[in-house]
Structures are given as C-alpha cells and as structure tokens.
Chain A
C-alpha cells in the first residue's frame, strides 16, 4: 500500500509506468482478482458516471425532491452553446458535467461516489470535459479513474475524505486534487506533474467548509463541484506548463488533515454553520422540514 504521493511518484518513475498502472497492480495483488475483472468493475463505475452526466443534461434536467436544486446544468449548457461565455467553452463544459452529476445525486438518482457522493461531480466533470478535446477512448477514461484512485487512497488514509470529518476541503478538495492528477497523466504529463497538480488543486481549496443548507447535499454542494472541476483543470494546466506548488503534495495532504481537525463541528456537515446558518438558509430549512428551528451558534462560527 502506498503511504505517500512521493512513494507513488518514485515507483512510477522507477518502473516507468503510469500511476494508474501501479493501482491496477496493487488491486490485483490485494484482492487476488484478475486484471480483466478489476478493469471491468471500474468500467461499470465509468458507465454510471456517463449515465449521470447524460441524465442531468437531458431535457430540462433533473430536480431534487426539495426543489432546492436542479435544471441548472441544462441552463449552463444552453448558455455555453451560444458561444459567448466569459470563461471559455472547455472550462464551462467541465463545469456543466459536474453540475449535472451533482444534480442527479441530489435528486436521489444513481451516481458513483468519487471519492464521496457530495463530491461526485468533480472528477466526471473534468473527465467528460476533456474527453473530446483529447479524443479519449473508453479505456483511457477508465485509466483516469485508476490514476485518481491512487491519489485519493493516499489522501483518504493519511487525512480524510468526509465533510463530517474534515469539511468540504476533504470532499471537493480531495476530488479536485484527484481529478487534476488524473487529467495530467492522461494528457501526457509526468508523475511529478500529476503530483504538483494535486498539490496545487488541494492548496487552492484548503479550509473550504462543509455547511449544507438544511443539511442537504444541495446548496452549496452542487456548485462547489463546479469549482472543484474548474480548479482541477486550471491546476492540471499549471502543472503541465511546469508550474510547481513549492509545498509538496504530501505536506499539503497533512495540512488538509490539520485544518480539517481544527474546523469546528458547525462547519463539518452538521448544517449548523456557514451558509446553513444564514437567514435565508434557516428559512429554507423551515420551509422544507416544516418545523421551528433556531440558529444554533455553539461554536466559533458566529
């Protein structure tokens, strides 16, 4: 098992194989399953991601049972297709795929957690954002998932990946780091560049709190995935251009762990702080659950 990103990078360089390949081999060794079997399971995950993106962008889109989120991926797509976007077609394509996936998640539809359901749009957002541009085959899309899993596993074991344990930086932050690294690998970057991309992506989202309105994975989660995907693409591009983070990937993961531990519970998926504790946030909670709720300010978040 890889305990650090440094080990992953060193091993990939020594064996002259991509990080995704190291993960396939590790899984074969750990589970005693064949390469074909493991690849097929990952391909199924990929197909679920593909279906979710399509579902969120079909017709008027999907809507959550609460009505808090839905239909916005389609709105963004219509806007993008007019060709007058400020941030550019490619970036918005990734963002719209990310939003589509998280709208499906909020509508209790079927998604693949990457690494979590709340952050399930970030990685597919990036993957389907660059698929046509780089003419990626299905196998290459699956390869990205193996690469992302390598980075994700180190993050999960050395820090955390749940909002309740470490805030949104642990969910969308981790997903963005994984997506940035996978994008670098599939675009032909080196393992070091993949590591730098992850380091930059997580550094950029360090401290991001988990403050879901009404405790629902909707506001601000859906659009946090938009920023996760966009941040991943920018970090991947910066790494491919030779920019470095200066603070190494493993140190960034450790910083994320320490920041996560020091976040008060009100900002760790309790729905008690941040946006959830705003006047409008509390009003929405009351409308949805129909009971009197008071703003609790037990902690530092006030």
Chain B
C-alpha cells in the first residue's frame, strides 16, 4: 500500500483558516492544483460537488476555499473567506453544482473543477483525503483525458514525440537517479505527436532539476502541481 501521508507536516499542519481541513484546506489545494494545471487566470469556473462535499460545502466554507485555491490564495490567508467577492470583482463567472450521483472516483469528498478562458479548457477531478491532503484523480488537458490517481507533488511534462531523442520512461528514471531522487511512479499518455509524461514525486524537485527539465529541447510544457 502506497503511503499517502509522507511528511510530518501532512499530519501536524497545515496552518489554515478554519473550519475543516478536508472541506476547507483540502478544497483549497484541489482548486490550487486545477489552477496550476490551467496556468492562467480562468474566466469561467464550474465546480461539481459529490457526496459529503455536496451535502456540506456551504457549512464548511468549501466554496470560498476551492475558489480561493483557484485564485492563488494560501490556506492561511485571512482574505480566504472573501474569495467569492474577489472573483466577482475580477468578472470571473463561478458556478457551484451539487451532484446527486455517487462520486466518479469513489471518495466522499470529491470535486470536479472545470476552468475555462476563451477556447482553453481543463477539467480536473480530485478528492480531499483528510488533514488537507488531496488525491488528483482524472485530468482532461487539451480535450485529452488522463487517469492520474496520484498524490502531490505531480509533474506534468508535455513532450513532442516528433522530436528526436525524447525521453522514454527509463530515461526519466535515469534522469532522477542522477539527482539521487527517487520517483514513486511514471505514467505516459500518448496522443498523436504529443506525449504527456506524469511524474509521481515523493518530495518537491530542486530548482536545479526544474531548470534542467525546462532546458530539454523536446519538452514543450512542464507543469509542477504541488
């Protein structure tokens, strides 16, 4: 069984605005993950809640928290309870939907987040597993759906496979081994000339690793979700 909680600070922490770590802090982290994937400020945000999230989002401040995460606020930001007003003043359209169906990923605290701006759209489904930690389950980028089921940090790397010398799974493992860094897992999703490599990290990568990855010629995008 993979360990979900890996740091002492997953247990003692986060420092956060109340009232619920899974429905407030975890919701914020879900929103933050979606916004990191989107890489720009969304103009339209749609949140679908399932099960416990659907029943109790009002009381737990889940709305302001998940939106706060999308707007880039931290769990301890005193402005967090005011995120709906902030979104309104920035003309961001926000919709919350209480779904009555069971969670698509079989967890009581599940949200599906759709972020849109002009013709760009991403959809991310994740669940809040307690104490502020989350699992990212399904991601749709560029109309292409990927089943992730991973814990943060996750590194999404888009590589162009028309390029010569692109990294295979073995190359990626070797790259991190060179940095004495152990990866938990790698998944590769292929679609035509594009490949999304998803790296499952144990701890955040160093600045050096990040800059080396960005310098690889075949890497079109590198998105760190942390």
Q: Kindly identify which residue among A45, A107, A157, A212 contacts B13, using a CB–CB cutoff of 8 Å.
A: A45
Interface residue ranges of B1-41 to A (CB < 8 Å): 1, 3-25
The contact size tier of chain B is 35 or more
Interface residue ranges of B57-113 to A (CB < 8 Å): 58-61, 76, 78, 81, 107-109
Q: Kindly identify which residue among A38, A115, A117 contacts B18, using a CB–CB cutoff of 8 Å.
A: A117
Residues of chain B within 8 A of A31, CB atoms compared: 7, 203
Decide: A212 near B59, CB < 8 A? Known: A108-B81, A117-B21: yes
Any B CB within 8 A of the CB of A259: no
Any A CB within 8 A of the CB of B129: yes
In the assembled complex, the Cα of A117 lies from the Cα of B75 at a distance in Å of 12
- Cβ contact within 8 Å between A107 and B18: yes
- Cβ contact within 8 Å between A153 and B18: no
Which of A187-195, A237-245, A269-277 faces chain B? A269-277
Residues of chain A within 8 A of B8, CB atoms compared: 23, 26-27, 38, 42, 145-146, 149-150, 153
- Cβ contact within 8 Å between B58 and A162: no
In the assembled complex, the Cα of A148 lies from the Cα of B202 at a distance in Å of 22
In the assembled complex, the Cα of A155 lies from the Cα of B107 at a distance in Å of 19
- Cβ contact within 8 Å between B16 and A45: no
The contact size tier of chain A is 35 or more
Any B CB within 8 A of the CB of A214: yes
- Cβ contact within 8 Å between A289 and B5: no
Which of B48-56, B117-125, B139-147, B163-171 faces chain A? B48-56
In the assembled complex, the Cα of A157 lies from the Cα of B78 at a distance in Å of 31
- Cβ contact within 8 Å between B203 and A111: no
23 contacts between A and B (CB under 8 A): A30-B6, A30-B7, A38-B8, A64-B19, A108-B81, A110-B18, A113-B12, A113-B13, A113-B16, A113-B132, A152-B12, A156-B11, A156-B130, A157-B1, A160-B129, A162-B130, A164-B51, A164-B52, A212-B56, A212-B59, A269-B108, A271-B55, A271-B59
Instruction: In the A-B complex, list the 5 residue pairs whose CB atoms are closest, starting with the nearest.
Output: A162-B130, A215-B56, A105-B18, A215-B59, A217-B19
Q: Residues of A with Cβ closer than 8 Å to B? A: 1, 23, 26-27, 30-32, 38, 41-42, 44-45, 48, 64, 104-118, 120, 145-146, 148-150, 152-153, 156-157, 160-165, 170, 178, 212, 214-218, 265, 268-272, 288-289
